[in-house]
């Protein structure tokens, strides 16, 4: 036996070569234990015998073996599978000068197999060649084939120097490819048989391709029959990075990132063999998006998933049914921009993601077990409309998976604020009554009954009820929104102490009256209390340094002091004064809108050395102000602290009234401070003087001087007309004003509807209407827009020109539209839109939550002003309308009369708000109706319509009216809606009080019947005077007596 101790040493390469003279021996089995062996070459020179121990050679323990080369090996005497290799190994075999029978050799155990100069006892078997890289037979004339079709699955198939006479179809498909021809050269019988054979590929077929590719990019599987060993693109270039998985059957082709459906990719096959081979176009789609999770982050949201893309223009994300703006996009996540989430705690929301036309939709819910509940203690709604608060748990604001209806009307579409525990819903006016309520959220459903009353949920003057919370319309403020900033001048800063104090009595003017008052705010003490509230230490900080600064938006004065008695803490006070509205940040870095002439009092205390850690510190500031006839004073407390690097905490404080008299009130503000480790304790409050619409005497807790004015009895003014208001069949007199019974109208219910004709040639340069009917001509125009300050003084006035005109027409009305930019291109967001409607038939028009009747032949103006650049938030707008009527004939006998109907308050007292202006010319009346409602930034607001003085006096032939529609400050827009119509009157103008019937002077105001009575009475008195004078003069003589008797007799006879 030859050397067999290979297992006693290690090697990676072993080359054994027997000489032909060595004795016969069996395979040295010690080689099978050389576990580090990678390359084994064994040239046996036919000196090996196959005995019982070497009928098969098990190389399974040689895990690193990659090349096995054998020469002159007794394979013909060995049993199947002859060689066994470690699993998953890829061994390249080289078999030289051997007798091969494929019934004994498992060639599929090799990754590549090269057979040279061998004698073949059988043909290549049919099997799974897809696992093999190379199958090669060379210089083996004994191999005559055929080559099985399954051998085409090998990555490389080569047979040369053999006796084969035919080729598999895969090779025929590639015939003409120089590389393939070279792999099958030197086969004499094959060359002879193939002379004149034309390349053909009848079995070529693409059986399947991958239909969807990830948007991040991926591999397309291309499977078929006789596909060849290479794949090309439509530019005749070998497809970059294409992978041959199974030769002639299966390619993996890289597809770049993308998105969408019905995409195409072009391939060519067998191009090297046939350059004119056709282009094969394959259609595929990128995978649709999937959602795996969602992570709220503040007001942002991050959605995780797959098959997104990086082109934001191809992505739409609908969060709760609303298209959201995107921030960062990638293949596996999408981040939205801010202001998407109203809340994130216990969020239930539907998310839809669309990627280039493909979408995914999913409802995200809390991870914990939850149950949605809407509390059945429903709010009581107000018939005038407003805001209602609904509460519950695990609620969603997402109206794609939730809805709330009342009486069949969808309310959930108007959610203005929400959390998982409440909704604030804006609703329109609704009649008083009980209505069914239905709430649905996913699988949860609730039905109930909700009440509507005429009682508002809060007391408010210039604002609205937000649930039970009062919200004020700018610039109003205060607990009932009846106050505005007083706009006082700044009090000089105290240069030695942090005190705000008027030096003398402060004087200001409000509503034309002079008010005198004074106020002060000053620190009182710094105290330390024990846990029982007992005083431990009491300091009055001593001011060490002061500093006067001026910021762009405020005046500032700072003070630094320290407690006495050796405590090392420092006390800082900063007083700021704001002359105008300004958005500043408070100690919590939150935005705070400062009011004009407000004082912000900021207090800070560095680390304080407490006597005991359980003690409390009280920082007292006593707030004093003396009020003399001042309507209202308000101080706002911002409840926050900043304690070192710890979390912000609510401020623990109290406000107590020290004294309250009819002319003064003293209050004390105390902040309680727990011991803290480090840093600075900060708190602050604002102080603002406001003007209130009502005196303090009208408040429930008012303390006033014991003076009660003597009651006065109001005078009752009779209603116009004889009889009053046209009599019971035409109208009734209520609080000195006529309430007409339809169809009667007018100031004294003596008129009915007439019609103005439509306009054939409208004025395209401005929204002005001039029209005639019979003997009357009427005129309507917008004169200007005025900006007034809070007291009604004119700030600026804009005359309007350069209108852009358009018109429309339907079977119901004729519409003229005008648009104006009052400030040109300098402030291009400010627009004035005026719509003039002429009604062909009686119509109902909705405005400000109410329905109004418009009669045939009447005109309606709608003015919409957007983004007016107010100089101050306390200012207001006044839209000035000029209307008039005149006699076409300009007759000397003509008469005019003008009457104005004003609105009444709840007590029936007249207010200064104009409702209707009646201008009568002879027997026709031009009616101008101004409603006291407007839509301001989407909210219904009450407004005032003010009668303004005209520049031209009324006469017997014409009368004009100038009305200013006064609207409050707006952020976005304001809309008003007056209308104008013609009436025919049964009582002529010359029979009405206040009529003008002469171009030179006004009449006495008496009607014709009154004048006739006066004339008759005057004639009788005149005759009686003549009789009496005659009696005294003529009775002295007989002739006189006879004459007197004759006159007396004649008077007596006439009286009969």
CB 963 within 8 A of CB 946: yes
- Both 265 and 305 in a single domain? no
C-beta pairs of 20-28 under 8 Å, 24+ apart in sequence: 20/45, 20/46, 20/47, 22/47, 23/47, 24/48, 24/49, 25/1, 25/49, 26/1, 26/50, 26/51, 26/53, 26/54, 27/53, 27/54, 27/57, 28/2, 28/3, 28/4
Assign 992 a pLDDT band (cuts: 50, 70, 90): confident
Assign 613 a pLDDT band (cuts: 50, 70, 90): low
Measured distance CA(509)–CA(486) in Å, rounded:
9
Question: What is the model's pLDDT at position 764?
Answer: 92
1026-1042 pLDDT, tens digit per residue, is 333 333 333 333 233 32
CB 521 within 8 A of CB 624: yes
pLDDT exceeds 50 at position 713? no
Nearest Cα neighbor of 151 from 134, 169, 129, 171 is: 129
Question: What is the model's pLDDT at position 817?
Answer: 93
Assign 567 a pLDDT band (cuts: 50, 70, 90): low
Assign 481 a pLDDT band (cuts: 50, 70, 90): confident
In a domain, 43, yes or no: yes
In a domain, 228, yes or no: yes
Question: What is the model's pLDDT at position 1051?
Answer: 31
Question: What is the model's pLDDT at position 474?
Answer: 75
pLDDT exceeds 60 at position 623? no
- Both 644 and 510 in a single domain? yes
Q: Which of 186-195, 481-490, 961-970, 1026-1035 has the lowest mean pLDDT?
A: 1026-1035
**What is the domain range of residue 304?**
290-364
pLDDT exceeds 70 at position 710? no
Looking at the structure of the chain, the number of domains it has is 8
In a domain, 907, yes or no: no
CB 946 within 8 A of CB 966: yes
* Residue 510 structure tokens: 């409000």
Question: What is the model's pLDDT at position 640?
Answer: 40
pLDDT exceeds 60 at position 149? yes
CATH of the domain at 337: 2.60.40.10
- Both 805 and 837 in a single domain? yes
Question: What is the model's pLDDT at position 262?
Answer: 96
Last residue of a domain, one of 172, 194, 216: 194
- Both 25 and 161 in a single domain? yes
Measured distance CA(753)–CA(819) in Å, rounded:
31
pLDDT exceeds 90 at position 578? no
């839109």: which residue's tokens? 833
The DSSP string of 103-131 is TT--GGG-SEEEEES-EESSPPPPS-GGG
Measured distance CA(806)–CA(819) in Å, rounded:
9
- Both 954 and 829 in a single domain? yes
For residue 558, which phi and psi values (nearest 5 degrees)? -115, 150
Find the mean pLDDT for residues 965-973. 88
pLDDT exceeds 60 at position 1000? no
Q: What is the mean pLDDT of the chain?
A: 81
CA angle (958 as vertex; 956, 960 as ends), nearest 5: 130
* Residue 600 structure tokens: 């912000």
906-922 pLDDT, tens digit per residue, is 555 556 788 999 999 99
Nearest Cα neighbor of 522 from 605, 619, 621 is: 621
- Both 173 and 315 in a single domain? no
Q: Which of 349-358, 894-903, 946-955 has the lowest mean pLDDT?
A: 946-955
pLDDT exceeds 90 at position 405? yes
Find the mean pLDDT for residues 258-275. 95
- Both 645 and 687 in a single domain? yes
Find the mean pLDDT for residues 930-959. 85
Q: Could you tell me which residue, 1001 or 560, shows the higher pLDDT?
A: 560
- Both 280 and 380 in a single domain? no
pLDDT exceeds 90 at position 468? no
Q: Could you tell me which residue, 848 or 45, shows the higher pLDDT?
A: 45
Measured distance CA(484)–CA(875) in Å, rounded:
11
CB 473 within 8 A of CB 483: no
Question: What is the model's pLDDT at position 504?
Answer: 66
- Both 297 and 276 in a single domain? no
Highest averaged pLDDT of the listed ranges 506-515, 619-628, 693-702, 892-901: 892-901
Coil, strand or helix at 547: strand
pLDDT exceeds 80 at position 435? yes
The model carries a pTM of 0.59
Measured distance CA(231)–CA(251) in Å, rounded:
8
Find the mean pLDDT for residues 34-40. 96
pLDDT exceeds 50 at position 442? yes
785-835 pLDDT, tens digit per residue, is 999 887 788 889 988 888 999 999 898 999 999 998 888 765 568 899 999
In a domain, 997, yes or no: no
Angle of the 1008-1034 helix axis to the 1038-1055 helix axis, nearest 10: 160
What percentage of residues in the chain have a pLDDT greater than 70?
80
Count of C-beta atoms within a 10 Å radius of residue 386: 24
Highest averaged pLDDT of the listed ranges 219-228, 291-300, 948-957: 219-228
What percentage of residues in the chain have a pLDDT greater than 90?
45
pLDDT exceeds 90 at position 559? no
Assign 444 a pLDDT band (cuts: 50, 70, 90): very high
In a domain, 143, yes or no: yes
Q: Buried b / exposed e across 109-138, counting CB within 10 Å, b at 16+?
A: bbbbbbbbbbebeeebeebebbebbbbbbb
Find the mean pLDDT for residues 319-324. 90
Last residue of a domain, one of 364, 384, 408: 364
Question: What is the model's pLDDT at position 642?
Answer: 40
In a domain, 866, yes or no: yes
The residue length of the chain stands at 1056
Question: What is the model's pLDDT at position 663?
Answer: 66
Question: What is the model's pLDDT at position 1033?
Answer: 35
Measured distance CA(113)–CA(732) in Å, rounded:
118
Find the mean pLDDT for residues 370-376. 93
- Both 359 and 247 in a single domain? no
- Both 955 and 970 in a single domain? yes
Assign 463 a pLDDT band (cuts: 50, 70, 90): confident
Q: Which of 135-144, 250-259, 636-645, 872-881 has the lowest mean pLDDT?
A: 636-645
* Residue 107 structure tokens: 């060639």
In a domain, 592, yes or no: yes
Question: What is the model's pLDDT at position 542?
Answer: 65
In a domain, 826, yes or no: yes
Last residue of a domain, one of 364, 394, 417: 364
- Both 238 and 167 in a single domain? no
pLDDT exceeds 60 at position 285? yes
46-83 pLDDT, tens digit per residue, is 999 988 878 999 999 999 999 999 999 999 999 999 99
pLDDT exceeds 80 at position 359? yes
Q: Could you tell me which residue, 98 or 1020, shows the higher pLDDT?
A: 98
CB 562 within 8 A of CB 542: yes
Question: What is the model's pLDDT at position 950?
Answer: 79
Question: What is the model's pLDDT at position 1053?
Answer: 30
């Amino acid at each position: 036996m030859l050397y067999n101790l290979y297992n006693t040493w290690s090697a990676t390469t072993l080359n054994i070569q027997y000489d032909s003279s060595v004795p016969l021996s069996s395979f040295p089995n010690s080689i099978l234990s050389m576990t580090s062996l990678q390359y084994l070459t064994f040239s046996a020179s036919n000196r090996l015998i196959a005995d019982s121990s070497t009928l098969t050679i098990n190389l399974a323990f040689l895990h690193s073996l990659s090349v096995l080369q054998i020469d002159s090996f007794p394979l013909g005497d060995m049993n199947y599978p002859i060689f066994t290799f470690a699993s998953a190994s890829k061994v390249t075999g080289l078999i030289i000068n051997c007798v091969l029978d494929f019934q004994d050799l498992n060639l599929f155990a090799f990754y590549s197999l090269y057979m040279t100069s061998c004698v073949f006892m059988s043909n290549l078997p049919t099997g799974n060649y897809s696992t093999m890289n190379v199958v090669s037979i060379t210089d083996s004339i004994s191999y005559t084939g055929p080559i099985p079709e399954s051998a085409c699955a090998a990555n490389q198939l080569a047979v040369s120097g053999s006796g084969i006479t035919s080729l598999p179809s895969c090779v025929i498909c590639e015939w003409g490819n120089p590389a393939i021809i070279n792999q099958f050269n030197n086969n004499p019988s094959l060359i002879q048989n193939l002379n004149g054979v034309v390349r053909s590929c009848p079995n070529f077929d693409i059986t399947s391709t991958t239909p969807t590719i990830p948007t991040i990019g991926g591999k397309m599987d291309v499977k078929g029959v006789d596909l060849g060993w290479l794949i090309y693109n439509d530019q005749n270039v070998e497809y970059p990075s294409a992978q041959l998985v199974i030769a002639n059957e299966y390619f993996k082709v890289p597809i770049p990132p993308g998105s969408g459906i019905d995409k195409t990719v072009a391939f060519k096959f067998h191009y090297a063999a046939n350059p004119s081979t056709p282009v094969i176009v394959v259609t595929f789609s990128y995978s649709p998006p999937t959602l795996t999770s969602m992570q709220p982050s503040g007001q942002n949201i991050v959605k995780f998933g797959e098959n997104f893309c990086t082109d934001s223009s191809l992505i739409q994300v609908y969060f709760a049914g609303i298209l959201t703006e995107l921030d960062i996009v990638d293949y596996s996540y999408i981040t939205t921009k801010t202001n998407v989430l109203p809340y994130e705690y216990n969020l239930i929301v539907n998310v839809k993601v669309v990627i280039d036309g493909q979408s995914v939709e999913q409802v995200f819910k809390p991870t914990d077990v939850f149950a949605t509940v809407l509390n059945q203690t429903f709010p009581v709604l107000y018939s005038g409309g407003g805001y209602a608060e609904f509460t519950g748990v695990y609620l969603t604001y997402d109206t794609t998976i939730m809805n709330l209806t009342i009486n069949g009307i969808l309310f959930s579409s108007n959610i203005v604020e929400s959390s998982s525990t409440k909704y604030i819903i804006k609703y329109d006016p609704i009649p008083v009554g009980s209505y069914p309520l239905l709430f649905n959220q996913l699988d949860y459903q609730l039905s109930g009954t909700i009440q509507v009353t005429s009682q508002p949920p809060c007391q408010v003057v210039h604002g609205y009820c937000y649930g039970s919370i009062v919200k004020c319309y700018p610039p109003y403020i205060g607990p009932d929104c009846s106050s505005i900033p007083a706009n006082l001048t700044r009090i000089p800063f105290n240069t030695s102490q942090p005190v705000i104090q008027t030096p003398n009595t402060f004087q200001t003017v409000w509503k034309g009256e002079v008010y005198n008052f004074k106020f002060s705010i000053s620190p009182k003490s710094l105290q330390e209390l024990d846990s029982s509230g007992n005083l431990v230490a009491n300091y009055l900080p001593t001011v060490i340094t002061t500093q006067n600064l001026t910021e762009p938006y405020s005046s500032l004065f700072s003070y630094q002091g320290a407690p006495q008695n050796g405590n090392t803490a420092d006390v800082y006070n900063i007083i700021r004064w704001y002359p105008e509205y300004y958005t500043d940040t408070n100690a919590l870095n939150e935005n705070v809108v400062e009011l004009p002439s407000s004082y912000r009092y900021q207090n800070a205390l560095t680390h304080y050395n407490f006597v005991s850690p359980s003690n409390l510190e009280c920082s007292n500031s006593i707030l004093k102000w003396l009020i003399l006839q001042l309507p209202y004073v308000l101080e706002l407390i911002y409840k926050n602290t900043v304690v070192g690097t710890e979390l912000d905490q609510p401020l623990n404080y109290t406000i107590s009234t020290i004294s309250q008299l009819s002319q003064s009130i003293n209050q004390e503000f105390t902040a309680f401070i727990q011991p803290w480790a480090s840093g600075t304790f900060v708190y602050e409050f604002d102080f603002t003087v406001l003007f209130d619409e009502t005196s303090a005497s009208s408040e429930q807790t008012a303390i006033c001087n014991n003076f009660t004015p003597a009651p006065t009895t109001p005078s009752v003014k009779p209603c116009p007309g004889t009889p009053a208001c046209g009599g019971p069949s035409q109208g009734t007199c209520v609080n000195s004003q006529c309430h007409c019974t339809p169809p009667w109208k007018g100031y004294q219910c003596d008129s009915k509807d007439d019609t103005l004709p439509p306009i054939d040639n409208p004025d395209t340069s401005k929204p002005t209407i001039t029209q005639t009917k019979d003997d009357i001509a009427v005129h309507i125009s917008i004169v200007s827009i005025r900006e007034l300050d809070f007291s009604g003084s004119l700030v600026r006035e804009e005359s309007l020109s350069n209108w852009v005109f358009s018109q429309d027409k339907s079977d119901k009305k004729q519409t003229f539209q005008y648009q104006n930019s009052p400030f040109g291109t300098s402030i291009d967001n400010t627009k004035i839109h005026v719509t003039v409607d002429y009604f062909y038939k009686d119509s109902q028009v909705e405005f400000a939550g109410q329905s109004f009747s418009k009669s045939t032949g009447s005109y309606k103006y709608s003015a919409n002003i957007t983004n007016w650049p107010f100089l101050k938030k306390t200012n207001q707008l006044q839209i000035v309308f000029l209307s008039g009527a005149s006699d076409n004939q300009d007759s000397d006998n003509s008469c005019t009369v003008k009457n104005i109907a004003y609105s009444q308050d709840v007590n029936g007292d007249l207010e200064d708000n104009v409702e209707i202006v009646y201008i009568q010319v002879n027997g026709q009346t031009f009616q101008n109706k101004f409603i006291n409602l407007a839509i301001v930034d989407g909210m219904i607001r009450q407004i005032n319509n003010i009668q303004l003085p005209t520049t031209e006096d009324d006469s017997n032939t014409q009368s004009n009216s100038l009305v200013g529609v006064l609207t409050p400050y707006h952020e976005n827009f304001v809309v008003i809606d007056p209308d104008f119509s013609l009436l025919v009157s049964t009582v002529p103008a010359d029979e009405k009080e206040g009529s003008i019937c002469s171009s030179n002077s006004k009449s006495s105001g008496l009607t014709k019947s009154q004048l006739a009575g006066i004339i008759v009475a005057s004639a009788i008195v005149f005759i009686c005077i003549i009789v009496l004078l005659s009696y005294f003069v003529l009775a002295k003589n007989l002739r006189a007596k006879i004459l007197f008797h004759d006159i007396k007799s004649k008077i007596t006879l006439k009286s009969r």
